Amino acid sequence: MKTIKTKIQDLKHWILTQNSLTKASDSRRSGMVASLLMLSFGVATAFGITPGLSTGGHGVTPVIEDITRTQLSGVATPGLYVQQDSVHNGDTLASLLFRMGVADQEALAFIRDDKTAKEIFKSMAPGKPIRVQKNTSGTLVSLRFPLNDKDILRITRVNDHFEATIAPASETKQLLQATGTIYSSLFAAADNAGLPDTVTRQLTHLFSTDIDFHNDLRRGDTFSVIYEAATDEFDQIKPGRIMAAEFVNKGQAYRRVFFSNADGGDYFTPEGVGIKASFLRSPIPFSRVTSGFTTERFHPILKMWRAHKGIDLAAPMGTPVEAVANATVVFAGWKNGYGNVIELRHSNGVDTVYGHLSGFVRGLRVGEHIRQGELIGYVGMTGWATGPHLHYEFKINNVQRDPQGPEVRRYLRVSINVAGHAKNQFLAATAPLIKELNAIRGTSTAQANFE
Ligand SMILES: [Zn+2]
């Protein structure tokens, strides 16, 4: 059921995408048509095979028509079908191809013998996608299979023989959009809007200087996001950077737009005011403070009065912990009381400490450079802890300060404005994104009704 749910979300996502790609307002209608076509294609791929269809001589042969080609381009080759599936546990290449309706001994023999083609046997891990093109009698016309993250094996029938090549995957970049309304939590709303986790995290970072995601969220808050994504040959979407976003919190709208500049680019308000969190407000975007910063408190385990020179953030076991700013790892290991702990060194004499972790991100080592927002470890209850939480310290020149206090707050915000000649460039470059944000804003009501 989980897969099906995900697929349905993908479909909703695609519908939004297709609308977003329709730039001119008078072509809304054609955008809708494109959405519907994508919907049919999506349903077909999502549920894979059409059982019960058989072609004589080969037993049950699942068949699926390549709806994309047929309806979107209108240049389908008659009798040619595309099917996508994935490697299941215990699959052999023969069983996998049989399930996809390929009955082609010649092709199997080629794949077993050819030096390039036989690479497929080394990478037949469960879950890997495979796409074949075949004709009505089950003859293989082409096959695509990802050998690793980068390389795709392609096998193609050329007249009376096969050719195999290994080459990098091709990706198409596009802008996707999502919009949602918060009813229970940002997590739930983002999930419902089909927003990938990495994009939701970017969203919380973008607005962390204006919105305290621990305390400020209200039922009815809305968000709209336009983000880059690359789609690979297997229709798998790799989400990238947010290009524009709006968050409406307690009736007030906040907006950010990305603008490329000499430093690689940054986020600004639509008016060109740069708002950059030099430090994230919290290493866990959604959590609440269960124990504040004090110079004295009664320690629940030590049963004595002791200073608590950090804050405790409640979060479930295993919740990802993020670096609050670019840093170098100065310690990652066990310390009495802290349990598994990470210490990061930032610029300007600031260090941050993350205690009671259940574990570290794989490969984390002392001396390593970490970027703001990067995962470093997971919430746990190692050391002196009565339940899962993160103990977080913020040190300025080696003295712990209250992470929610005034000394720390000034580290949270840095502004660099776009001015002069760059301002015109900025306005021209960001206008289409702002226009699109305005357009999708209206759809959040529809989204709410849909729920
Ligand atoms: Zn603590």
Q: What is the residue-wise DSSP string for 405-425?
A: SHHHHTTS-B-----THHHHH
103 alpha carbon – ligand 1 mean position (Å): 63
356 alpha carbon – ligand 1 mean position (Å): 9
Q: Token digits for 143?
A: 């096959």
312 alpha carbon – ligand 1 mean position (Å): 5
Query: What is the structure's pLDDT at 263?
Result: 64
**CA of residue 239 relative to chain centroid, distance:** 5
392 alpha carbon – ligand 1 mean position (Å): 7
- Per-residue pLDDT of the chain in tens (451 residues, 90 and over written 9): 433 443 434 433 433 333 333 333 333 333 333 333 333 333 222 222 223 222 233 322 223 333 333 333 334 566 788 899 999 999 999 999 999 999 999 999 999 999 999 999 999 999 999 999 999 889 999 999 999 888 999 999 998 899 999 999 888 889 999 999 999 999 899 999 999 988 998 999 889 878 888 788 999 999 999 999 998 888 788 899 999 999 999 999 999 999 987 667 888 999 988 876 678 888 997 778 888 888 776 677 766 667 789 999 999 999 999 999 989 999 999 999 999 999 999 987 899 999 999 999 998 999 999 988 899 999 999 998 889 999 999 999 999 999 988 888 877 766 677 877 788 889 999 999 999 999 887 654 433 333 2
Q: SS3 of 380, please?
A: strand
Q: Please tell me what DSSP assigns to residue 281.
A: S
307 alpha carbon – ligand 1 mean position (Å): 10
Distances (CA, A) of 142 to 111, 147, 354, 403, 415: 12, 16, 51, 58, 54
Distance between CA atoms of residues 29 and 19, nearest Å: 9
Query: Ion ligand 1 — residues with CB under 5 Å?
Result: 312, 391
What is this structure's pTM? Answer: 0.56
Q: With beta carbons less than 8 A apart as the criterion, state whether 271 and 423 touch.
A: no
Burial class (CB in 10 A: 0-12, 13-18, 19+), 387: exposed
351 alpha carbon – ligand 1 mean position (Å): 16
In the chain the domains, ranked by start, together with CATH numbers, are 1-47 (no CATH), 53-168 (3.10.450.350), 172-277+416-450 (3.10.450.350), 288-409 (2.70.70.10)
336 alpha carbon – ligand 1 mean position (Å): 13
Distance between CA atoms of residues 102 and 95, nearest Å: 10
257 alpha carbon – ligand 1 mean position (Å): 37
337 alpha carbon – ligand 1 mean position (Å): 10
391 alpha carbon – ligand 1 mean position (Å): 4
297 alpha carbon – ligand 1 mean position (Å): 11
Distance between CA atoms of residues 140 and 159, nearest Å: 12
Query: What is the structure's pLDDT at 297?
Result: 66
Of 147, 159, 148, 84, give the one whose Cα is nearest residue 116: 147
135 alpha carbon – ligand 1 mean position (Å): 65
Of 157, 152, 193, give the one whose Cα is nearest residue 176: 193
289 alpha carbon – ligand 1 mean position (Å): 10
390 alpha carbon – ligand 1 mean position (Å): 7
Query: What is the structure's pLDDT at 43?
Result: 29
53 alpha carbon – ligand 1 mean position (Å): 63
Distances (CA, A) of 285 to 187, 206, 348: 11, 11, 24
Using the Cα atoms of residue 318, residue 230, residue 228 and residue 426 in order, give the sign of their dihedral: positive
399 alpha carbon – ligand 1 mean position (Å): 16
